[in-house]
């Protein structure tokens, strides 16, 4: 090419390109992927924090669940991506409760049938909220189905057995366990042995026995450590 | 039931012209992977905003379209004032999420009509700080959080929570402040109907320099009909879309 043409080019022709530039896109891709993961994590934290600010008990409950669920997931040999999804789903499983009126959420006594129907909407609300974030699609599905039962008598979809996402089956078990252990205003919390006994009793109808078994072992050994994740005394 | 995201891609950030695109050196090697990742990052950020905004709607703390209308207004004001693209994006996000802190407050406090006690007012006035705290955890949202945190400050130092003055308040926050006030004046409430346009402008002008930023108010005053139409159009655009599952909401706004 004549020199005037070279001068008019805005970039160097390929033959003269420095190879030091070649790895740059790859490095940049890694940085971008990391930025993407961090933004997703940030969104999860923001959503959880908002719920936490509204009701601290919910926040600590979610934190404990995430611990339990990830440990169960590790026992079951799940991969990094799945563990991450389960961790997020546990943290966010009750996010839909923002749609439930305060007087029902914080009601000290037993709920009426009507009130219970309103609470039963929270998995769908959670799903709607989480669907908005592109990377949290599978998390939103786990949240949607975390109140299903193995025998198909759960809500909202009445899924059975394997139809229920694995993450949902895990969250279901750890959620019930943590709830049983917590004290409410109308009853005291159960001990571990009793809670585990009830979990076993309710499987395979409600809970997946293939999750209850490894979980029961974990609960015995890890309970004291996770129980420390408590809301501060009033 | 399908959940439609409330905010449709019609604002600055999703039109594709955003402050943080790939750096120039990378553009020389058109690598689809990089471009796609930048796009994913933008969409994830927008998704986070949508999710948080949905929490606000579910909590019944904000009638569905209030924040979106304020957002449309704020963006128009920001563009006219020549804000750089990155700040328009911050303004857009903060306009949508400026009331997010209300989700953390008790519902009956938000619904209360009549005179508030000092304690109640103090509680409500925590919402900017709460909103900022929630947003602080998201990478890339530091400025957005800051704007949310100071959107109730006033140029004369009479605002909250920090009693900042004048230029101490970032311009996007001053724009948001005026946009929110104008939108409130132009909305029917349970205790009063919306103000006539002329009166709304007069009230804003009366507070120019003290309660409201002078330049922003001046801009509104130059073309009030257009800004009023922006509000109405935003409302009409929204009613075309399904708003998604809505819990029964009590009367009244904050």
Residue A1's pLDDT band (boundaries 50, 70, 90)?
A: very low
Taking residues B163-175, report their average pLDDT.
97
Give me the DSSP letters along A90-143: HHHTTGGGGGS-HHHHT-SSPPPHHHHHHHTTHHHHHHHHHTTSGGGHHHHHHH
Burial class (CB in 10 A: 0-12, 13-18, 19+), B34: buried
Radius of gyration, alpha carbons of chain B: 18
Give me the DSSP letters along B106-163: -HHHHH--SPPPHHHHHHHTTHHHHHHHHHHTSTT-HHHHHHHHTTT--TTS--SSS-
Residue B253 DSSP code: -
Q: Do the Cβ atoms of A99 and B1 come within 8 Å?
A: no
A71 is written with which tokens? 């440990």
| Rounded CA separation A171/A208 (Å) | 11
| Chain A contact present for B58, CB below 8 A | yes
Mean pLDDT, chain B, as a whole number? 82
Distances (CA, A) of A107 to A111, A122, A179: 8, 16, 16
Q: Nearest-CA residue of chain B relative to A95? A: B55
Taking residues B173-192, report their average pLDDT.
92
Quote the Cα angle for B132-B138-B140, to 5°.
100
Query: Which residue of A14, A26, A97, A99 to mutate against B (max B Cβ within 10 Å)?
Result: A99
| Chain B contact present for A98, CB below 8 A | yes
| Rounded CA separation A103/B108 (Å) | 9
A29 is written with which tokens? 């891709």
Q: Interhelix angle for B85-97 vs B32-58, to 10°? A: 30
Q: Do the Cβ atoms of A134 and B44 come within 8 Å?
A: yes
Cβ-contact A159, A150 below 8 angstroms: no
Q: Do the Cβ atoms of B137 and A96 come within 8 Å?
A: no
| Chain A contact present for B41, CB below 8 A | yes
Bridge partner list, B96: none
Residue B90 has pLDDT above 60, yes or no: yes
| Chain A contact present for B79, CB below 8 A | no
Percent of chain A whose predicted confidence (pLDDT) is above 70: 85
Pick from A42, A50, A128: which is nearest to B104 by CB?
A: A50
Residue A187 has pLDDT above 50, yes or no: yes
Q: Do the Cβ atoms of A46 and B244 come within 8 Å?
A: no
ipTM score of complex: 0.83
Residue A160 DSSP code: B
Q: Nearest-CA residue of chain B relative to A127? A: B3
| Chain B contact present for A13, CB below 8 A | no
Digit-coded pLDDT (tens) for A67-78: 999 999 999 999
Pick from B38, B58, B134: which is nearest to A49 by CB?
A: B134
From chain B, pick out residues whose CB is under 8 angstroms from the CB of A32.
34, 37-38, 41
Taking residues A199-228, report their average pLDDT.
92
| Rounded CA separation B151/B129 (Å) | 10
Closest CA to A88 of A121, A134, A57, A45: A45
Residue A175 CA from chain centroid, whole number: 11
How close, in Å, is residue A38 to chain B by CA atoms?
A: 7
Taking residues A202-212, report their average pLDDT.
96
User: pLDDT value at position A227?
Assistant: 82
């Amino acid at each position: 090419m004549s020199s005037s043409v070279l001068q008019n080019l805005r970039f160097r022709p390929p033959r003269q390109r420095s190879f030091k530039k070649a790895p740059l896109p790859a490095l940049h891709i890694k940085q971008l992927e990391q930025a993407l993961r961090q933004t997703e994590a940030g969104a999860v934290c923001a959503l959880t924090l908002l719920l936490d600010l509204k009701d601290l008990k919910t926040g600590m409950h979610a934190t404990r669940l995430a611990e339990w669920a990830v440990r169960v997931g590790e026992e079951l040999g799940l991969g990094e991506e799945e563990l991450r999804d389960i961790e997020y789903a546990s943290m966010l499983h009750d996010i839909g409760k923002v749609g439930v009126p305060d007087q029902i959420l914080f009601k000290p006594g037993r709920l009426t049938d009507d009130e219970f129907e309103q609470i039963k909407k929270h998995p769908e609300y959670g799903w709607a909220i989480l669907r908005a974030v592109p990377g949290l699609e599978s998390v939103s599905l786990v949240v949607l189905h975390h109140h299903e039962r193995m025998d198909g008598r759960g809500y909202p979809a009445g899924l059975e057995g394997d139809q229920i996402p694995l993450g949902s089956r895990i969250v279901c078990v750890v959620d019930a366990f943590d709830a049983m252990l917590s004290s409410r205003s109308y009853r005291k919390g159960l001990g571990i042995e009793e809670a585990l006994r009830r979990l076993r009793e309710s499987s395979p109808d409600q809970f997946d026995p293939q999750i209850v078994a490894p979980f029961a072992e974990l609960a015995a050994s890890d309970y004291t450590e996770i129980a420390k994740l408590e809301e501060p005394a009033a | 039931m399908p959940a439609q995201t409330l905010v449709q891609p019609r604002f600055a950030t999703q039109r594709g012209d955003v402050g943080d695109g790939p750096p120039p050196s990378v553009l020389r090697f058109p690598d689809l992977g990089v471009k796609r990742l930048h796009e994913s990052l933008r969409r994830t950020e927008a998704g986070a905003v949508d999710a948080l905004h949905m929490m606000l709607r579910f909590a019944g703390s904000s009638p569905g379209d209030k924040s979106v209308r304020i957002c449309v207004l704020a963006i128009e004001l920001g563009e006219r004032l020549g804000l750089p693209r990155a700040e328009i994006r911050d303004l857009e996000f903060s306009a949508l999420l400026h009331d997010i802190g209300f989700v953390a407050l008790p519902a009956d406090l938000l619904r209360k009509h009549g005179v508030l006690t000092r304690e109640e007012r103090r509680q409500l006035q925590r919402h900017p700080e709460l909103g900022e705290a929630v947003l602080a955890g998201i990478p890339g949202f530091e400025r957005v959080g800051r704007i949310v945190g100071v959107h109730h400050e006033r140029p004369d130092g009479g605002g909250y929570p920090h009693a900042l003055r004048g230029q101490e308040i970032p311009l996007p926050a001053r724009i948001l402040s005026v946009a929110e006030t104008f939108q409130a004046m132009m909305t029917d409430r349970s205790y009063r109907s919306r103000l006539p346009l002329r009166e709304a402008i007069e009230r804003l002008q009366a507070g120019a320099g003290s309660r409201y930023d002078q330049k922003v108010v001046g801009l509104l005053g130059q073309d009030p009909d257009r800004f009023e139409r922006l509000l109405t159009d935003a409302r009409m655009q929204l009613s075309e879309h399904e708003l998604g599952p809505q819990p029964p909401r009590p009367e009244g706004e904050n």
